[in-house]
Amino acid sequence: WTEFRTQFKARFETVDEAVDAKERLRTLWQGSMTVPEYAARFNELSTRTGYSKADLRDRFYEHLADSIKDELVHTARPIASLEDLITVSSDIDVRVRQRRAERDRQRGRTTTTTTAAKPAVPLHTTPFTPPARDPNAMDIDATRTREEFNRLMRGKCYGCGSTAHVKKDGGHDRDICGYCRRVGHRETVCMDKFLKKPHSQKLAAT
């Protein structure tokens, strides 16, 4: 009886553990966490879910912060596996947070200049130096072609840039591009923007 009870308990505790891990993974989002923090919690739960590597990769991507997803659209680095996705997302997260800190410091210097007791005296501030550019990011300063755009978007949704679905399954029918004003895609994957076409001021007819 003791042996039977031990086996019975071990079997059903394992099932309960997997169900609990799946539910906790379903409600886990990056939110305000850094990507490494999010990845650590994700990996802790994922080993107990029984999900395939492909499923885990898609679930990790879906719950990333939008700021990270927006930058992933432009990267040429491999992100097909969960490991590669975590590595690239972590690098992007560092750059995004550094850029945010720079903007905050710049905003603080602007406020100091505006509220200075003697505005007539010029205040010497350190000139803003943009961060080193990611060589893998989409280069909209160079001459581009449609073929290059299509090559960059290979395997990604033409509506938002996600690798988790194709455009027809992305629900982008009502999305309006902030650059060309056309319906059906977001500005982050706008071909007109990539090709450096003039910014449209009019809303395209639907």
pLDDT tens digits, 170-202 = 888 888 888 888 888 888 888 888 888 887 665
Q: pLDDT value at position 133?
A: 52
State percent of the chain over pLDDT 70: 73
Q: Is the pLDDT of residue 204 over 50?
A: no
Q: pLDDT value at position 174?
A: 85
Q: pLDDT value at position 137?
A: 47
Tokens of 164: 């988790």
3-state helix, strand, coil in the chain (%, to 5): 50, 0, 50
Q: Between the CA of residue 164 and those of 14, 44, 81, 125, 131, what are the distances in Å?
A: 30, 22, 12, 45, 30
Where are the domains positioned within the chain? 1-120, 145-206
4-13 average pLDDT score: 58
φ and ψ at residue 143, rounded to 5 degrees: -70, 130
Q: Between the CA of residue 16 and those of 46, 47, 90, what are the distances in Å?
A: 14, 14, 32
State percent of the chain over pLDDT 90: 39
Query: How far apart, in whole angstroms, are the C-alpha atoms of residue 142 and residue 144?
Result: 6
Q: pLDDT value at position 9?
A: 57
Q: Is the pLDDT of residue 168 over 60?
A: yes
Q: Is the pLDDT of residue 56 over 80?
A: yes
Q: pLDDT value at position 194?
A: 82
140-161 average pLDDT score: 77
Structural contact between residues 144 and 195, judged by C-beta atoms closer than 8 angstroms: yes
Cβ burial, residue 128 (10 Å; 0-12/13-18/19+): exposed
Query: How far apart, in whole angstroms, are the C-alpha atoms of residue 32 and residue 38?
Result: 9
Per-residue pLDDT tens digits for 62-92: 999 999 999 999 999 999 999 999 999 999 9
| Cα torsion angle, 83, 77, 95, 71, sign | negative
Q: Extract long-range pairs of 181-185: CB within 8 Å, 24+ residues apart.
A: 184/159, 185/158, 185/159, 185/160
Amino acid at 197: K
Q: pLDDT value at position 205?
A: 46
